[in-house]
Amino acid sequence: MNHILGTNPQGQDLLGLLVYSIPPMFKMIFAGTMFATMLATVIGTLSGYIGGTIDRGLMTLSDIMIALPGLPLLIVLAAVFEPESPYVIGLILSVNIWAGLARTIRSEVLSLRDIEYVESSRVMGFSLSSIIGRDILPNLMSYITVNIAYNARSIIFSSVALYFLGVLPYSNYNWGVIMDNAYQGGTMYTSSLYYWLLEPMIVIVILTIGMILLAQGLDRIFNPRIRARHKDHEENEPNESEESAPGAPVN
């Protein structure tokens, strides 16, 4: 019972390794998602609202980033910079995931910039930052918040894969390193050591499912259509006390 999840052949407690791997992983997720989301929001909003040469230039940059192969690019960047800080690793892992979100935000802004209240703000002489901050961004929050969770999922998979391949600097406290040690230790050929490889995989799946559920919850909070639909559904539900009352009319 001192080692609930067992130990590796070196005698290290796997539960401790899995738990102490969580803070570096969350630092990578925070840095990567914030960088990718903020960059995509700025580029997509400016491109869609201003248009013209700026739109063509920013979208060309986005298309180039989308066309670049993701994993080889990350391997090259990791080999060049050899990052050790989780925050720097998160920034590297998010270097090409912002482009798709930026193009989608641009498409949303193109439909929002001709709405009546946006045109009214423009006619009244409000500044560009004021129009974007007050009239456009609030309508994009549902989509942006949902993509934060999905970008976090992408960073989890990328970081674990690069640590498993040995591209990123070695660290005892990472699920990818644990899986790599398990693979090198012969878990694929020794049935008694299967838990060494299986346990970090289960943790990754649980965290990924949590991110997906978080994205669905954020969508229900920020998406006005879904929020209104759930509100109407709750209002139309019959009251249990009225149904159980004697003499209550039957619907």
- The answer to whether residues 199 and 18 touch, using CB atoms and an 8 Å cutoff, is yes
Q: How far is CA 37 from the centre of its chain?
A: 9
- On whether the CB atoms of residues 200 and 187 are closer than 8 A, the answer is no
pTM: 0.75
How high is the pLDDT of residue 131?
A: 82
Please list the alpha-helical segments (H only) found in 116-251. 116-123, 128-131, 137-165, 175-184, 194-222, 224-236, 240-244
pLDDT band of 97, cuts 50, 70, 90: confident
Six token digits for residue 34: 């914030």
Residue 13 reports pLDDT greater than 80: yes
Which CATH number is correct for 14-234, 3.90.470.20, 1.10.3720.10, 3.40.50.12280, 3.40.50.1110? 1.10.3720.10
pLDDT tens for each residue of 31-78: 999 999 899 989 988 888 888 888 899 899 888 888 888 778 888 888
